[in-house]
Amino acid sequence: DTAVSQTPKYLVTQMGNDKSIKCEQNLGHDTMYWYKQDSKKFLKIMFSYNNKELIINETVPNRFSPKSPDKAHLNLHINSLELGDSAVYFCASSQEYGQGATEAFFGQGTRLTVV
């Protein structure tokens, strides 16, 4: 019954590898997001998609590539992982974007550790 679900919850990988994080929401929302929360707990937006279209790309290295196969899914693929990519990545969704936007619903997070 989870509203926004991400997999995996934990991901440990070596530098230089490529990995993906999957996200699905069953709330019928039009907008989905990826956020990164670093060790200082700052939650920073990375990408925002509305109806499968990219709305926001926040100067994220192009090693990070989001992909939205449909409105309910927004996956994050990361190439050539670096130590600095270690963080917790959160997927979120909301009903609308723009002035009508409401609260965001977050997944449980994926803790990525690059060694």
Candidates 102, 95, 108, 91; CA nearest to 2 is 108
Relative to beta strand 110-114, strand 53-57 is unpaired
**What are the phi and psi torsion angles at 112 (to 5°)?**
-100, 125
Q: Shortest gap between Cβ of 28 and another protein (angstroms)? A: 17
Residue number with CB closer to another protein (14 or 41): 41
Residue number with CB closer to another protein (9 or 82): 9
Amino acid at 21: I
Give the binding site for another protein (CB under 8 A): 4, 35, 40-45, 48, 55-56, 58, 90, 92, 97-109
Residue number with CB closer to another protein (64 or 80): 64
